[in-house]
Amino acid sequence: MGTRAWEGLTIPTAGTYTIDAMHSSVGFVVKHMMVSKVRGNFGKFSGSVTIAENPTESTAELTIAADSIDTGVADRDGHLRSDDFLATEKYPELKFRTTRFISRSGSEFTVAGDLTIRDVTKEVQLTVEYGGTGTNPWGHEVWGVSIAAEFDREDFGLTWNQALETGGVLVSKKVKVEIDVEAQPAA
């Protein structure tokens, strides 16, 4: 892999890197009943990052198996896989692909990209915190990032909800995404 200096950071050399799913996670948080948070994750995903000579021209893509959603409650997970939400039989994948660099402050980058859920594609912005590079115990060089984003699920056709007698709704419209990625050179 190798590293190089770039504007005060030590970054990977230009090339294509694969997301190591065993050392990465794709999670989300939504408000429930307007008072608490429900967390979940997707257990199956794959992707890659292509670091460009000019790092601001780098690209990334992520594909998530929609039916791998897990909130720790089987009935809720079944409902999330149903047509009320992800409709995983009709739309088996969620996809993301970067489209442009927006800004940088230190080791934090803002990028935009196309998120596709249920065959609806919308632009979302991600905050990407670069975690640096290292060598794992097996002698492989790796690097990592932490990613945060927020979007309105209704923009993607995920409109199911239930009004509460006390006012408000059962499930918030806003979904917070939390992704941690460890990447290594593509084979």
Query: If one looks up domain 3-185 in CATH, what number appears?
Result: 2.40.128.110
State the Cα–Cα distance between residues 6 and 53, nearest whole angstrom.
10
Query: Is the model's pLDDT at 30 over the cut of 70?
Result: yes
Torsion, Cα 125 127 130 136, to 10 degrees, reads: -80
pTM: 0.91
Residue 30, C-beta contacts closer than 8 angstroms, at least 6 positions apart = 37, 38, 153, 171, 172, 174, 175, 176
Kind of pairing between the strands at 25-32 and 36-42: antiparallel
Rg (CA), the chain: 18
> pLDDT digits over 61-103, tens only?
999 999 999 999 999 899 899 998 899 999 999 999 999 999 9
Mean pLDDT for all residues in the chain: 90
Q: For the residues 2-29, what does the mean pLDDT come to?
A: 95
For the chain, domain boundaries: 3-185
Q: 149, 124 in Cβ contact below 8 A?
A: yes
Residues forming a β-bridge with 169: 163
**Residue found under tokens 């997970």:** 77
> pLDDT digits over 117-176, tens only?
999 999 999 999 999 999 888 888 899 999 999 999 889 887 766 554 555 545 678 889
> Which segment of 25-39, 52-66, 113-127 scores lowest on mean pLDDT?
25-39
Q: According to the model, what pLDDT value does residue 34 have?
A: 54
CA 32 to chain centre: 21
